[in-house]
Every structure is written in C-alpha cells, then in structure tokens.
Chains A and B, each alone.
Chain A
Amino acid sequence: MNLEILKHQLVPKHEILSSKEKREVLKKFNIEKEKLPRISVSDSVVKVIGAKPGDLIRITRKSPTSGKAIYYRFVVEG
C-alpha cells in the first residue's frame, strides 16, 4: 500500500536531487536553501522515497494552466 500512494492522481512526481543538481538549482534561483518551500520528513511521500533532512526534492506537477510545472521543496525535520 505504501508504494501505491505514489500512483495516486493527487500525488505528483517527487525526485530527490543529487548534490550536484542541488547546487545548480540553488545557483539558478540565487537563493539559500532555507528560503525554499519546505516538506517534512514525516510526510507520507518523503517516507516512501526515503529522503532525509537536507535533501532537495524536485516536484513535477501537472498544472491546469501550463501543462507541467516544476517546484522544489527542501526536506526539514518535523
């Protein structure tokens, strides 16, 4: 059942970024990681994909206006 939540219509694709990709994203937006939107380690999806605090997650959303939208969330404790 745990893996099944990733297939749910409401859940967009979550990916953990490698440290190289992470640096690139932070450089692209010229932002510190603490200022990015957050996601908790206890979040159901984070548990399934196994991300740890400090990771950056790329979320590929289906958007009703633009078709595809990319969003980033920073994994925090809590």
Chain B
Amino acid sequence: MTIKLPEKIEKEVKKYFEDEKIPEKERKQIEEKVIKLYKEYKYSPEEPVGVITAQSLSEPATQLTMRTYHFAGTAGIQVTLGLPRMIEIFDARKSPTTPSMMIYILQEFQDIEKVKKIAEQIKEVKVKDVVKTTTVDMTDLWVKCKPDMSKLKRYGIEMKTLKKKLKVRDGLVDVDEEENVIIVKLKKKDIAGLYKLKYNFLETHIAGIKGITQVIVLKEGDEWVINTLGSNLKKVFNVEGVDTTKTFSNDIFEIYSVLGIEAARNSIINEARYTMEEQGLGVDVRYVMILADLMTFEGDIRAIGRYGISGQKSSILVRASFEETKKHFIAASISGESDGLRGTVENIMMNQVAPIGTGSFELIGRIPEKKKK
C-alpha cells in the first residue's frame, strides 16, 4: 500500500528540493526515505494514545505556577494564567475569571485616531463615568447629578437622548436640558431606599458594550489592535471597523455559541497552548488536539473530570476507579448494570491482558493436518 504524505511534510520536501537544487534522479530516493521515516514515526494501531496524552500533559502541568502574579505598572490587561487557567480550560468553566478579547481592526481603519474612536465606542460607560458631582436631598428625596459635558461629548452622548436611555428601578428620571442637570426622584417615600437609588443610578449603563470594563490600544507588529477586559463577541462583531475574521475571545463557551463547535475546539487548543508556552513549557500540539477532540466529541463542550468525560464512561469499574467509588457501585448494583470488560482499566483490575497494542488481537493458529499414511 502506498502511503501519502501529509500536505505539510510534502510541501517541506518540495521546498527542500527547490532550495538545495537537488537533481531529478536523487529526488525519488529522498522521497522514499521520507516516506519510510514517516511510517516509522507513526503510532502503531491500538497504541494507547490516551494514556500517553494524559502523562505528557500532566507532567508539565505540575511545573505551572500555582498562583498568578500581578505586575505593577505594566500596560496591558492582566489575564489569569498558569495552573488556574489550565484548570479553567479543562474543567470547561462557563465563564473565565478574566474574560478578555483581542479585537483586530480592518485595514481601512488602521489609524491611531480611528482605532481610539472604536475603542471608546466599545468601552462600557456608566453614569458614574460622566458625572461631575452628585447631591442627595434627604427631605425631598431626590438625587441630583451634574454631568461633565466634555466627557459626554467624547462618548458621543447627547442630553436629549439621555432621558430615554436612563431607567432606574424605583426612580423617575428627569433631564433639565437648560441647566444640564439630571434629577432622579424616588417613587416611594422611603428614606432607606434613597442611597440604593443613588447607587443604582450611578451604575446605570448608558453607552458602549455591557461588561467591557477596560480597553487598551496596542500595536502588534505593524497593526493596531484593541485588547479588552470583559467579553462580548456578538456585539463587537457589529461595531464598524472590527475585523470579524480575526477577532477572538478567551471565553470558550462564548466562541462556541457564536462560532460553533469547531471554532471552540480550535480555541481550546490555542488557549491551552498559549498558557503552556507562556510559562516556557513545550507540549506537543498533538496531545492538546486529542484532548480538544475528546472534549468536543458530543457536539458541545464537556469537561474532563467527574461531571464530564470521566463520569460518563460506560464501564462501571472505570467510573468507580476514578472518583466516588461507592456511589457508582451502589447505583450500578441497584439498577443491575453489567460490565463488558472491554476497556483497558477494567482488564488491568481483573489481571487480564488489556486490549491495547498486541493485546487487541487474538491469534488463532492453524494446526497442520496429519499426513495420511
């Protein structure tokens, strides 16, 4: 059987031929040798790659930092890294502790002023960000705010539209355009609610995208990018000037819901690799790929662990050997489950040959018939 080389190796071989100006005669020989080596380096059938993956990933993981450091005075956004981030990825947490986005900008908008404008559009603006002074009147029960007009102008907010946008629980908002003040009256006559009203009012969202608390404009190579703290891909994709083909988030579940399962798989690989490499640990991508394939096998993201893949295995003995031994045995004996002893772990427990490697086959010899005399 002829073996076809993977695209990447084939390209590399071709490039080598061109660069070194190898004569036509020798090319065939070299190609055959490459194919031979490729065959040798392939995993043989029934090799327990899962076990090898587990070891190759967990040994370097022991070297990861237990806690993340905070660097004072550095520009950029502090994202969780090291072991906590690794656990986050493989446990399939619904949202990361520090969600962050990397926003790429289209070629036409590659100008510092334009990029800054996009960044301002994206950043969440609350009432407290634009307010100069607030006064609370205890007798008439209202809160008065004086907005900073220059800030309002910078965020592109007009006084006219403010009245419609501002809605506070238990409060009536009134905007005085002539004197540029906002007055919020309390609906119920209740002094205790007044400070709560003030707090709620100041936390009200007026512009930008909810949840994005920090934006930083950075230069990556020779293009401007925006790094954010807080993530909302769907809304960012609708902002003019954002490159929707490259912008990504570190929230794997968000990527799954916006871009689908295959994108989530790629994102798991990228995030896990980035976390490892950031700590100076080299892990072969193939292992991360196996893990990502396993996590996305069912069409959604499953965690590795008790509530994910390990807890959903079909064999009782495997589940019991992982965690919560008693629980699994009791549940299995009540419902009368049976174990087919088809996996590796079960057979090792039973002191039998496990179906891996050469153990996967049974050889049946043909006894030569006796010659008739």
Contacts and interface: CB of A to CB of B under 8 A. Distances in A.
Given A1-B238, A65-B285, A66-B8, A76 B262 contact: no
A76 B263 CA distance: 18
A12 B262 contact: yes
Interface in B248-262: 248, 255, 257-262
A78 B248 CA distance: 26
In terms of DSSP, what is the predominant structure of the interface of chain B?
helix
A12 B244 CA distance: 15
Interface in A1-57: 1, 4-5, 7-12, 14, 37-40, 43-46
A65 B11 CA distance: 12
The interface size bin for chain A is 20 to 34
A5 B7 contact: no
Given A38-B298, A40-B299, A66-B7, A10 B255 contact: yes
A10 B267 contact: yes
B262 A61 contact: yes
Contacts of A8: 244-246, 259, 263
B300 interface: yes
A7 B297 CA distance: 23
Contacts of A64: 285
A11 B262 contact: yes
B299 A73 contact: yes
Which residue, of A8, A38, A40, A43, has the highest number of chain B Cβ atoms within 10 A? Answer: A8
A9 B299 contact: no
Nearest to A46: B260
A5 B299 contact: no
Interface residues of B, number: 31
B173 to A, nearest CB: 33
A39 B261 CA distance: 7
Interface string A60-71: 010111111000
Contacts of B245: 4, 7-9
Which residue, of B238, B298, B299, has the highest number of chain A Cβ atoms within 10 A? Answer: B299
Contacts of A63: 6, 8, 289
A45 B260 contact: yes
A53 B297 CA distance: 16
Interface string B289-310: 1000100111110000000000
Contacts of B267: 10
A10 B7 contact: no
B266 interface: yes
B237 A40 contact: no
Contacts of B299: 37-40, 43, 73, 76, 78
Contacts of B7: 66-68
Contacts of A1: 237-238, 244
A65 B8 contact: yes
Contact of B259 (A38, A39, A45, A78): A45
Contact of B262 (A7, A38, A45, A65): A45
B348 interface: no
A63 B290 CA distance: 12
A9 B246 contact: yes
Interface of A: 1, 4-5, 7-12, 14, 37-40, 43-46, 59, 61, 63-68, 73, 76, 78
23 contacts: A4-B237, A4-B244, A5-B244, A8-B263, A9-B248, A10-B255, A10-B266, A11-B259, A11-B260, A11-B262, A12-B266, A37-B293, A37-B297, A38-B297, A40-B261, A43-B260, A45-B259, A45-B260, A65-B6, A65-B285, A66-B8, A67-B6, A78-B300
